[in-house]
Amino acid sequence: MSLNAKVKSIEALQEWKGALKRFVDDTWQALRSAEQKIQRTEELLEERSNHWRHKVEQYCEDVLQAKRDLQYCRDEEDNDCSVEEEALVEAKLHLRNAEAELDNVRRWSIRFDKITADYRVQAERLKQFLAVEMPRADASMGRTIASLCSYVERIQSSEQVLFDEFVHGLSADIDSKWKIEGSPEETRELYTALNKLAQTEKGRASAEAIQNHGTTMKFGYLPKKYVCVYYPVDNEIVVNLNCRARSASVLAAYLAHEGTHVEWNHGNPKPSLNEEYYSFKTQIEVWQEVKGNEHDPLCDDWAKITAEGEYISKLKILEIYGQDYFMGF
């Protein structure tokens, strides 16, 4: 795994840690909001229960009074008691409605109490989880992030020491002005690729040529079909930005190709066909050394082409670039 991928993974863990904290905060808020709603509902049910209980008591008194009025009317001879009878019927109707409402409130209260009790059992478990387990998870993730950051710092330091030793070895007898331009990540990727190239049997000459000629290396914008280009006028190797995600082995093979151009070039604005052929040949020889189990479409395709021999390889190069691209054989 590349160092860049490790750094991104740490950032993802940091984002996850932040998301975990937001989840905990949001969950506590949801629990508080639910408890407030439960309390408001309990208060509402209690208020409605008191209201209808009072109404039942009131209508009971009304029924008793209506019965007394009807009885008083009937005690008198020849009285028309229809008004009193209607009043009694109406009082009983009000009483039945109030008792029905009170019974309905009681049923809802019983049902609500059961639902609330079940919810609070689960809510208490969740609260316990939030209060105990989540802080442990947060602390564990914090330790993991700190450990990974420390590891990356050690790897970066180790890689820098190794590369410094490599640079010192290459330039022990040479006053070199070669350099790598770009961000720290880009610089390190090209450092690592050049280091790998210098450690190969077939590619060391290309790596030395890059340094001996003071060639600049960098990532930059290129047409999509180009992965890497050497500009002799500027003495500059530009690697396509699309190749940033490729491994050090792949980049080493690309640099072997362009380093061969540096080695062959003597200020010529165009390469010869022979130069282009040997650049591809060196690229594939280095690729065979470093690829292991890796695959790269460009390198793998050219490995098949160069395996068919120099003549077929040159025909393919002419087919791709055209005769006018070259200054001669």
Please state, in angstroms and as integers, the Cα–Cα distance from residue 179 to each residue in 144, 198, 235, following that order.
36, 15, 11
Residues 124 and 16 in one domain: yes
In a domain, 8, yes or no: yes
Residues 156 and 186 in one domain: no
pLDDT tens for residues 200-214? 999 999 999 998 888
pTM: 0.49
Segment of 7-11, 274-278, 286-290, 317-321 carrying the highest mean pLDDT = 286-290
Residues 198 and 304 in one domain: yes
Residues 97 and 14 in one domain: yes
pLDDT at 11: 77
Distance CA 198, CA 28 (A): 58
Residues 14 and 152 in one domain: yes
Residues 179 and 298 in one domain: yes
In a domain, 167, yes or no: no
Residues 90 and 186 in one domain: no
Residues 183 and 154 in one domain: no
Q: Pick the closest to residue 215 from 200, 229, 199, 201 (CA basis).
A: 229
Residue 170 confidence (pLDDT) above 50: no
In a domain, 165, yes or no: no
Residues 135 and 249 in one domain: no
In a domain, 166, yes or no: no
Between residues 194 and 77, the one the model is more confident about: 194
pLDDT tens for residues 48-59? 999 999 999 999
Residues 77 and 43 in one domain: yes
Please state, in angstroms and as integers, the Cα–Cα distance from residue 43 to each residue in 46, 78, 152, 183, following that order.
5, 53, 58, 64
Residues 113 and 190 in one domain: no
Q: Count structural domains, the chain.
A: 2
pLDDT tens for residues 172-224? 443 446 788 888 888 888 988 998 999 999 999 999 999 888 899 999 988 88
Residue 230 is inside which H or E element, if any?
strand 228-231
- Bridge pairing between strands 228-231 and 236-240: antiparallel
Torsions phi, psi for 175 (to 5 deg): -85, 85
Tell me which residue range forms the domain holding 264.
175-325
In a domain, 139, yes or no: yes
